Amino acid sequence: MKIFKLIGELKKYIFIMMFFSVIHVFCELYLPDLMSDIVDIGISNSDTNFIMKKAIIMLVVAVICLLANIIVVYSTSKFANNYGYKIRKALYNKINSFSKREIDMFGASTLITRSTNNVSNITSTFSFGLRLMIFAPIMGIGAAVMGYKTAPNLAHIVVIAVIILMIALILIFTTVFPKFELMQKLLDKLNASSREILSGLRVIKAFDKEDYFKKKFNKVNTDNMKLNIFLNKILYLIQPLMILVVNIATIVIVWVSTGYLELGTLEIGAMMAFIQYMATVLLSFLMLLVIILNIPRVLVSFRRINEILNVEPSIENKGKIKLTSLESIEFKNVYFKYDKAEDYILKDISFRVEKGQKIGIIGSSGSGKTTIINLLLRHIDVTEGQILINGIDIKEYDIETLRNIFAYTPQKTLLFKGSIYENLAFDAKIPNNVLDKVVKEAEIKDFVNQNTEGYDYKVEQSAANLSGGQKQRMSIARALLSGGECLLFDDSFSAVDYITDKKIRDTIRKDYNDKMVILVTQRVGTIKDSDNIIVIDEGKIESIGNYKCLEKSSKVFKEFISSQKREVL
């Protein structure tokens, strides 16, 4: 499993833990022996000096035991939390390398669950489990040896108690094991249901469907609750079962020991020490079984995380060429369809764009316009055909430099919680005069100036405190700041009024005339002044030409003009 390779240099904490666990066990096992000597020798003979001497030794051993335990706990914590950090980092990097295909294959809800809940399961189990896994066997074996050495005639009682515990706990284990996988799947469903409701809250309220979604959520939530209650009921049987067995075993030991005490073959101190050793053996056994009972949960988490780490992204960055400038983009007989889909989304798409050209792409919803943009950014790869940049296949370029060449404004505007400055600049240090110029070009300057905070104005989560037009203009400003040589606008003016739309486009034509511009839209007015317009209909290029040409020759384009006559004028 790739997940185990992440341990790396963290192995040193395991060795530290093992070394000090042995010291801790030695001290724990030595204490009952010292106590036995105090009772059988010191108290029996009223030897105060002997008692004081053994008491001082017990105190020293107890301090060493405490220090060893502190180091064990510290090293366990360091290992568990650093390992969790490395797993989350590996997951983050892997998910970021995924294309749309891999994201759709897993689904957002399960990716969130695996990156949070499953990692937490591993770290929480390791934080206490790894220490117990090392400590319990050493302690159990040591206590068994010391117990047998102290009172061999009573050893069979401990064996019987262990067998009873084993049978009971195996039954519990076989009952809960299959349920952990189901619990994780229910958690995925609960996460997916919550995300669905939160993202569609306005629509749910608008159609008055609160009761329907409440029932839908309650079903998943109730299933999750019932399963967790069932698992907890079963697992919480362990502690009372353990206490019952230990107490019964103690009563049996005391009862059996009376005969040996009368015969003089067993001392009271030895009996007391044996009871402690017996309790230690059973406690060690219980600790080991608690770990075993947590193994199903951890194994499920390991497997789910490893599934992500083992996935090889369909978009591989094998290109060696660094793209530093952009002269031309050419689509040559490009076909594309999604996995398991019967029909092609794009069919025989061929066109060429030169540096400095402004191209418009228009078509109805679902015609494949955004797919063309995703192919350019290599979020997906062509099924057939080629995309050439500067005459070289797009796959030959390093993905990072390829994407840096584009200034992209997505169809769905995404702004992050934080200030306007943080949303525009990200981590770059951009002077205010450069910011002022770009926000003016994107027609968002008035909004910035109206706020007393200026660029420090806080954008709420999902930009809930901004209008649709403000979001799009912010997104356009962010794209212009990126400095890409090709401006990609994917339906980026749909929420902007026509006057503002024209102002932004006029500014782009004037100030960015040396850059390539590809503008995807359903609004004829937005691409009216483009050098060339590509009309997409059902995944095919219906026609290519400028506005005047298409106004006469393209049936689909005429329909767009007819439906938007007022806006076009």
Domain boundary among 280, 310, 340: 310
Q: Are residues 405 and 261 in the same domain?
A: no
Residues 352 and 448 in one domain: yes
C-alpha distances in Å from residue 456, one per residue of 70, 423, 424, 432, 446: 46, 10, 11, 12, 15
Domain presence at residue 522: yes
Contacts 24+ apart (CB under 8 A), 497-502: 497/469, 498/525, 498/567, 500/443, 500/469, 500/473, 501/525, 501/526
- Taking phi first (over 0 means left), then psi (-120 to 50 degrees means alpha), and beta for anything else, what does residue 346 get? beta
Q: Give 243-288 as a DSSP string.
A: HHHHHHHHHHHHHHHHHHHHHTSS-HHHHHHHHHHHHHHHHHHHHH
551 close to 558: Cβ distance less than 8 angstroms = yes
What is the rounded CA–CA span in Å between residue 368 and residue 249? 75
Residues 277 and 396 in one domain: no
Residue by residue, what is the 3-state secondary structure of 28-94? HHHHHHHHHHHHHHHHCCCCHHHHHHHHHHHHHHHHHHHHHHHHHHHHHHHHHHHHHHHHHHHHHHH
Reported as type and span, the H/E element at residue 568 is helix 565-568
Residues 356-381: b if buried by 16+ CB within 10 A, e if exposed = ebbbbbbbeeebbbbbbbbbbbbbbb
Tokens of 122: 């591993």
Helix (H, G, I), strand (E, B) or coil at 426: coil
Polymer length of the chain: 569
Residue among 370, 389, 402, 404 nearest 481 (CA): 404
Q: State residue 330's pLDDT score.
A: 94
> Cα dist. 165→241, 286, 290 in Å?
8, 8, 12
- For residue 240, is it within any domain? yes
Q: Does residue 379 sit in the same domain as residue 304?
A: no
Residue 451 lies in a domain: yes
- Taking the CB of residue 150, how many other CB atoms lie within 10 A of it? 24
Residue 523 backbone phi and psi in degrees, to 5: -100, 120
pLDDT of 373: 92
First to last CA, the chain: 63
214 lies in some domain: yes
Q: Is 26 in the same domain as 119?
A: yes
CA distances, 142 to each of 45, 65, 66, 291 (Å): 29, 15, 18, 19
pLDDT given for residue 256 in this prediction: 73
Last residue of a domain, one of 282, 310, 338: 310
Query: Tokens representing 52?
Result: 């004081």
| 344 and 216 in a common domain | no
pLDDT (0 to 100) of residue 351? 94
User: What's the pLDDT score for residue 339?
Assistant: 78
- State whether 168 and 196 are in the same domain: yes
- State how far the Cα of 313 lies from the Cα of 224, in Å rounded to an integer: 32
Q: Does some domain include residue 319?
A: no
**Boundaries of domain holding 223:** 2-310
| Helices 108-150 and 268-310, packing angle to 10 deg | 160
CATH number at residue 240: 1.20.1560.10
User: What does each of the 569 residues of the chain score in pLDDT, given as a tens digit?
Assistant: 677 788 888 888 888 888 888 888 778 777 777 777 777 677 777 778 888 888 888 888 889 989 988 998 888 888 888 999 999 999 998 888 888 788 888 877 788 888 888 888 888 888 777 777 777 777 667 667 776 677 777 777 777 777 777 777 777 777 777 777 777 778 778 888 887 887 787 788 888 888 888 888 888 888 888 888 887 777 777 777 777 877 787 787 777 777 766 666 666 666 776 777 677 777 777 777 777 767 777 887 888 888 888 888 888 888 889 998 999 999 999 999 887 778 899 999 999 999 999 999 998 888 889 899 999 999 888 999 999 999 999 999 999 899 999 999 988 888 888 888 888 888 778 888 888 899 899 999 888 888 888 888 898 877 878 888 888 999 999 989 888 899 999 988 888 888 888 888 889 888 888 899 999 998 888 888 899 999 999 889 999 999 888 988 888 888 888 887 666 55
Q: Are residues 439 and 491 in the same domain?
A: yes
457 contacts 420 by C-beta, under 8 angstroms: yes
CA distance 8 to 113: 25
Handedness of CA 308, 314, 319, 323 (dihedral sign): negative
Q: What is the pLDDT of residue 384?
A: 92
Decide if 418 contacts 458 (C-beta within 8 A): yes
The Cα 471–Cα 73 span in angstroms is: 50
3-state secondary structure (DSSP) of residue 167: helix
CA distances from 536 to 389, 540, 542, 561 (A): 21, 6, 6, 15
240 in the same domain as 387: no
Tokens, residue 248: 């019964």
Q: Is residue 317 part of a domain?
A: no
Which residues, in sequence order, are bridge partners of residue 358?
Answer: 517
Kindly report the CATH number assigned to the domain that includes residue 474.
3.40.50.300
Which CA distances in Å does 138 have to 67, 271, 377? 18, 22, 57
User: Does one domain contain both 372 and 280?
Assistant: no
- Kindly state whether residues 532 and 485 are assigned to the same domain: yes
pLDDT of residue 336: 93
How many whole angstroms separate alpha carbon 244 and alpha carbon 250? 10
> 315 in a domain, yes or no?
no
Q: What is the DSSP letter of 418?
A: E
Quote the tokens at residue 562.
């007819």
Domain ends where: 248, 283, 310?
310
Cβ contacts of 183 within 8 Å, gap of 6 or more: 224, 227, 228, 231, 297
Specify the pLDDT at position 362. Answer: 93
Six token digits for residue 127: 């934080």
pLDDT of residue 568: 57
Question: In whole angstroms, what separates CA 458 from the centre of its chain?
Answer: 26
212: three-class secondary structure by DSSP: helix
Give CA–CA dist 159/405, Å, rounded.
Answer: 73
pLDDT at 563: 82
Both 160 and 193 in one domain: the answer is yes
Q: Tokens in use for 333?
A: 């007989």
3-state secondary structure 334-387: EEECCCCCCCCCEEEEEEEEECCCEEEEEECCCCCHHHHHHHHCCCCCCCEEEE
The answer to whether residues 157 and 256 touch, using CB atoms and an 8 Å cutoff, is yes
Report the domain count for the chain: 2
Indicate whether 91 belongs to any domain.
yes
